[in-house]
Amino acid sequence: MQEIVGVVQGRREGHGFVIPDEGGDDIYLPPEEMRHLVHRDRVSVRVVRMDRKGRPEGHVLDILERPTKTIIGRLLQESGTWLVAPEDRRYGQDIIVPEAAVAHATMGQVVVVELTEPPSLHGQSVGRIIEVLGEADDAGMEIDIAVRKYDVPHTFSEACQKAAAKLPVQVRPAERKGRIDLRDVPLVTIDGEDARDFDDAVYCEPAKVGRGKGWRLLVAIADVSHYVKSGEAIDVDAFERATSIYFPRRVIPMLPEKLSNGLCSLNPGVDRLCMVCDMLVNAKGEVHAYQFYPAVMHSHARMTYTQVADILANTRGPLAQQYDSLLPEFMHLNAVYQALLAARKLRGAVDFETTETQILCDDSGRIAQIVPRTRNEAHRLIEEAMLAANVCAADFIQNSKHIGIFRVHEGPTPERQNVLRAYLKALGIGMTIGDDPKPEDFQAIAEATKDRSDAQQIHTMLLRSMQQAIYTPHNSGHFGLAFEAYTHFTSPIRRYPDLLVHRVIKAILTGGHYTLPNIPLANASTDPFRKKLAAKVAPPQRAIAAPAETGKKRGKAAAPSNFEEMQAWEAAGLHCSANERRADEASRDVESWLKCQYMRGHLGEVFTGTVTSVTTFGLFVTLDAMYVEGLIHITELGGEYFRFDEARQELRGERTGTRYGAGTRMRIQVSRVDLDARKIDFVPAQDDLPRQGGAANGAAKPGRKNGKPDAQRAGAAPSGSGERQGNRQERRAELQPERSGRAGGAKKSSAKTSRNASARKSRKR
């Protein structure tokens, strides 16, 4: 009879769940309980029974908070009544709009409706239209929908715009005072062809390190903190956004364009203010010494990854001759990269290679082609340089005893360790993890299985056994990258935590102390994320009482100057973590919409693909040629029982023994595309249905090798066209968000079998 407080999470089928604030099992709410609730309501509930699936079922006692004020959807008219059908299916009810509140909208348009009356047990929600976005097929509509669906701030405040307008257009002479002049040092930027802002530049030269040879590596980062003053108008907007969001053909920036593409972009041929991490790296790839200082620089070239890779591959080619004055620097950069890479391998950091994709759009904003994004040596070179600078920043803050923010990535929980061990044992892999797993254990398993046809699934299971990375003032290391301390220093144009790190470093250099400004630390859109993430952050008392373990470079955790200050840093870290998740979800939503719209033109066509994930309700298949994923529902696999083997992550037919697992090669037909639900359905091609007995066509068997290219191709992961490639190595070493729920999600189901023939009759299409 305990009263539980939590946030309502709706489902498109009409029921919902309460996610408890204090953690624990989600509480099921049947459709009759959801009639007077709205997705994201904060409620108090009492568990009244266990339902037939063994889930705790709740009764709502009170609605504590209604954060949802506006909903985006499509305007419809039924029997003379105007309705708005929510675009987000988690809002299970349509909103009635009185005719006087329709404004100038017309039927079928996408609108934003403000709720004027909440739903009740005997009536639907009522609202009024406050914004008309346009027709559903308008170019860029999917982005307009996503930014409102996820409450992404997409317009700068008037105060922010006025403050940005007052900034100079170039570096003024007075701003160079007190800075190291590096304008004669040939620093260069290396980015993708489609990059518009350049927040990092690099330079390398040979140097004597200790008694041996080594390199001096300079990583110069745009000095955003010089222009974005703590607590002022631009800073308030930047904190609210916390990150830039990259969509195909459009970016929602964290900072106004005058800063992100102007004053704070290290464009070639102009003076720019920067913060420099100046490192000495020895022949083993270890950072022997480092220092931070403010400087003024003058980028000598804007290079692309393709150009630098071409120069490194052919030092006598035409491109190398064109940049002959910079050729020695590129060679030195490559040499220090090779040393850093060797140190990375020795450290045992996790590095799972996956095929990333790029969406190419036509002039109307629709997908023209989805192509693999090739990572070359220049990508990896910049990645290693940025990682080295980030580690130095974390070490500098930690040794100074100043409160700061770290990028923390923890290893697997005991529960996830047990699941992973059972999975590896079921597949017959002769390797496992110990009771205190290390990053090198995961990397060793990945290396040993990289040539298997089910390598992608194995690597996914390895990643999902870890926890998601978060921002927090309590340093506990970065498990995936195998660092004792790690933070983000290299992208202050597009990440707020990096901006905070710059401010802390500047305060330490001047002997001062940086205190967070008194800016809002809460909003309705990120509260649910923050409550979940809070369970992963040690409270201040625990951090003081139990300092970090000692290691080669790790000292005692810095005691906070006061309890309130540490709480403020915790809140800032949780806010940034929550907004990072929100940005990822919004980007995936747009990509899913574009892919669904793209596949509508291929209905009925047959393609080849690879099974990349298996669930209780079917198979997810990624197409070879298009890198698009769709679902083959279990009801389409033939008229027999299929049992889901959780340990092996496969479906097995009880009568024929037919097996479908990760790595299974299939020919499929595109059967259905649901643009509103972001779903693509496949069915097996007629000649690809399994015959009696044995594995399905190309089904993966433990230990069997069907070729590396297909296994890699199956792992295609979409990526925004504008996101900096230099941070991908870190993202690959951290847990990526799990597949969002579909047809009930990928959660465990108590039903392990399905009678396909009978289920087909009741399947909702």
706-725 pLDDT, tens digit per residue, is: 333 333 323 333 333 344 44
Q: 411: helix, coil or strand?
A: coil
Instruction: Give the count of domains, the chain.
Output: 4
The answer on 271 and 164 residing in a single domain is yes
pLDDT over 60 at 268, yes or no: yes
pLDDT over 80 at 153, yes or no: yes
Query: Up-side HSE of residue 108: CA atoms within 13 Å toward CB?
Result: 4
pLDDT over 90 at 694, yes or no: no
What confidence tier does 308 reach under pLDDT thresholds 50, 70, 90?
very high
Using alpha carbons, select from 501, 497, 487 the residue that is nearest to residue 275: 501
What confidence tier does 731 reach under pLDDT thresholds 50, 70, 90?
low
pLDDT recorded at residue 561:
53
Of the candidates 684, 703, 732, which is a domain's last residue? 684
Please tell me the distance from the alpha carbon of residue 408 to that of residue 575, in angstroms, as a whole number.
15
Q: What is the CATH number of the domain that holds 35?
A: 2.40.50.140
For the chain, percent of residues with pLDDT exceeding 70: 84
What confidence tier does 747 reach under pLDDT thresholds 50, 70, 90?
very low
- The more confidently predicted of residues 430 and 156 is 156
Tell me whether residue 736 is in a domain.
no
Tell me whether residue 11 is in a domain.
yes
Tell me whether residue 356 is in a domain.
no
Express each pLDDT in 371-412 by its tens digit: 887 788 999 999 999 999 999 999 999 999 899 999 999 888
Give the highest mean pLDDT range of 120-124, 627-631, 693-697.
627-631
Of the candidates 67, 90, 108, which is a domain's last residue? 67
Tokens 């390598």 identify what position?
Answer: 455
- The more confidently predicted of residues 421 and 295 is 295
pLDDT over 90 at 52, yes or no: no
The answer on 279 and 177 residing in a single domain is yes
Report, as an integer, the average pLDDT of 659-675. Answer: 90
Q: What is the CATH number of the domain that holds 119?
A: 2.40.50.700
Please tell me the distance from the alpha carbon of residue 720 to that of residue 713, in angstroms, as a whole number.
18
pTM > 0.95: no
What confidence tier does 72 reach under pLDDT thresholds 50, 70, 90?
very high
Please tell me the distance from the alpha carbon of residue 734 to that of residue 727, in angstroms, as a whole number.
11
Phi/psi at 271 (nearest 5 deg)?
-75, 140
pLDDT over 80 at 587, yes or no: yes
Tell me whether residue 679 is in a domain.
yes
**Rg of the chain in Å (alpha carbons):** 27
pLDDT recorded at residue 1:
62
Using alpha carbons, select from 293, 170, 161, 304 the residue that is nearest to residue 233: 161
The answer on 320 and 171 residing in a single domain is yes
Written as one string, the DSSP assignment of 36-99 is: T--TT-EEEEEEEEE-TTS-EEEEEEEEEE----EEEEEEEEETTEEEEEESSTTS-S-EEE-G
The answer on 196 and 55 residing in a single domain is no
Tell me whether residue 79 is in a domain.
yes
Tokens 């087909």 identify what position?
Answer: 760
The answer on 263 and 301 residing in a single domain is yes
pLDDT over 90 at 689, yes or no: no
The answer on 334 and 240 residing in a single domain is yes
Query: Up-side HSE of residue 573: CA atoms within 13 Å toward CB?
Result: 30
Tell me whether residue 500 is in a domain.
no
The answer on 92 and 225 residing in a single domain is no
pLDDT recorded at residue 468:
86
The answer on 169 and 22 residing in a single domain is no
Report the C-alpha dihedral over residues 627, 633, 636, 642, rounded to 10 degrees. 120
388 contacts 314 by C-beta, under 8 angstroms: no
21 contacts 5 by C-beta, under 8 angstroms: yes
pLDDT recorded at residue 696:
56
- Burial state string for 379-397 with b = 16 or more CB within 10 A and e = fewer than 16: bbbbbbbbbbbbbbbbbbb
Burial of 253 from C-beta contacts in 10 A (0-12 / 13-18 / 19+): buried
Q: Which two tokens stand for residue 152?
A: 């992404």
Helices and strands in the chain: count of H runs, count of E runs = 20, 32
Tell me whether residue 4 is in a domain.
yes
pLDDT recorded at residue 757:
38
pLDDT over 80 at 573, yes or no: yes
- The more confidently predicted of residues 633 and 540 is 633
pLDDT over 60 at 726, yes or no: no
> Range with the lowest mean pLDDT among 353-362, 386-395, 475-484?
353-362
The answer on 187 and 78 residing in a single domain is no
Kindly report the CA angle at 485 between 481 and 489, in degrees rounded to 5? 85
Tell me whether residue 533 is in a domain.
no
Express each pLDDT in 164-188 by its tens digit: 999 999 999 999 999 999 999 999 9
Q: 131: helix, coil or strand?
A: strand
- Average pLDDT over the chain, rounded to whole? 83
Q: Quick one: CA dihedral 341, 344, 345, 351, positive or negative? A: negative
What confidence tier does 559 reach under pLDDT thresholds 50, 70, 90?
very low
pLDDT over 90 at 258, yes or no: yes
Instruction: Classify strands 629-633 and 679-684 as parallel, antiparallel or unpaired.
Output: parallel
The answer on 321 and 176 residing in a single domain is yes
pLDDT recorded at residue 481:
92
The answer on 319 and 186 residing in a single domain is yes
Please tell me the distance from the alpha carbon of residue 620 to that of residue 611, in angstroms, as a whole number.
6
pLDDT recorded at residue 682:
96
* H helical segments located in 401-515: 414-426, 439-449, 455-464, 496-509
Domain with 127, as residue range(s), is 68-136
pLDDT over 90 at 649, yes or no: no
Report, as an integer, the average pLDDT of 74-87. Answer: 92
Q: Quick one: CA dihedral 259, 264, 267, 272, positive or negative? A: positive
Instruction: Classify strands 301-304 and 287-298 as parallel, antiparallel or unpaired.
Output: unpaired
Written as one string, the DSSP assignment of 371-397 is: EEE---HHHHHHHHHHHHHHHHHHHHH
The answer on 209 and 63 residing in a single domain is no
Of the candidates 637, 655, 684, which is a domain's last residue? 684
